[in-house]
Chains A and B, each alone.
Chain A
Amino acid sequence: MSLPPFQRLVDDHATELHRFLVGCVGADLAEDCLQETLISALRAYPRLRHGDNLRAWLYTIAHRKATDAVRLRARRPRTVQLNGMGPSEPRTAPATLPDDGLWTAVRALPVKQREAVVHRYVLDLDYRQIAERMGTSPEAARQSVSAGLRRLRTEVDR
């Protein structure tokens, strides 16, 4: 199968990729992450040898971008008060969602658990589909989801 026009990938997958990224990195970073994902994919696209499983390929890139974004945010220096020097408010306050306690906990999960949980519940996929997108086995996907849920339960119910 030859490569379809890149526009078709955008049309078919952008909305779902965005939902995935909102789950992984939060609404404030998701759209930028989506753009980073798409531009990276576009850059590499002509070098793909075939058009099989383009969806899994896109999720691999999205996963990488989400990981980068989370790491970058963690490393973002906290704003300290310097008397009379510069603004006292952080320039980009993280946007919050209504159910933020839960989603903050989701974003604090280890990467594999986080992505498995997002795939399972936000995108409503079964374990075979999750495995395909995460490049793992259905059994490993199931374990990641249940481990993630266990951890969330202790975090959220606390």
Chain B
Amino acid sequence: MTDLERRLASPATPTLDPARVTAKLARRADAEGLLDVAWATLDTPLGPIAVFVTPRGLVRVAYDRENFAEVADEVAERVSPRVLLAPQRTDSVRTQLDAYFSHDLREFDLAIDWTLVRGFNQGVLRATAAIPYGDMASYGDVAAAAGSPRAARAAGNALAGNPIPIVVPCHRVIHADGGLGGYTGGLETKRYLLKLEGSRLDGLTSPASGRLARSRPGPRRTRPG
């Protein structure tokens, strides 16, 4: 290697702060309407949680065990590939989750983007969103509220695929006989959330079915882009 080549190979490159690059890009993308999905992580008593927000609202909440990179892939594919780390756009979600975990908030006041859930499943999750804090309902209850009283098993599948756990409180749905059922975040997590809300874990003492209003799926969403 000649001296010239050696000098070319060692330019005085100013150091680049990757976080600053992303923050700057996210601000500008937001201003130009290009920030289709903003995401951020937050620390909770259940470990790190990732939240994904579109201009319409909260579209995805993920537990650490789901693998954030894979969840980001899923969001890129099914919502929009314009996914950027942009904590400022997720502020209200993170603030409310923090408050929820410290017993300061019982009801989330957040816009939801239902892009990832269609049809009957969306009906089930909308019915689930209506179960009050500290209460529980059975799979049959939410199936009935979604318009199909006999579809308890299908309701279970819809809940298992809930893209917005905690905020859409699928942990409040259990078996009619008091069995805990399943949970994407793990049964320990489900138990933790129910305890946090002061629910009694020895069964459905007061079936919530009567209190669940029949809810219809909202207007069909079309995918952006």
Contacts and interface: CB of A to CB of B under 8 A. Distances in A.
Contact of B84 (A7, A46, A153): A7
Contacts of A91: none
A102 B7 contact: yes
Interface in B65-90: 69, 72-73, 75-77, 80-85
A31 interface: yes
A25 to B, nearest CB: 12
Interface residues of A, number: 41
Contact of A5 (B16, B29, B73, B225): B73
A15 B18 contact: yes
A71 interface: no
Contact of A46 (B4, B8, B25, B225): B225
Contacts of B37: 5
A42 B21 contact: no
Contacts, number: 113
B16 A149 contact: no
Contacts of B34: 39, 42-43
Given A2-B76, A7-B84, A121-B5, A99 B12 contact: yes
B13 A27 contact: yes
B187 to A, nearest CB: 30
Interface in B1-41: 4-5, 7-9, 11-14, 16, 18, 21-22, 24-25, 28-29, 32, 34, 36-37, 39
Given A5-B84, A45-B81, A156-B4, 11 more contacts: A2-B81, A10-B84, A27-B14, A31-B16, A35-B25, A38-B25, A39-B28, A45-B82, A103-B11, A117-B8, A122-B9
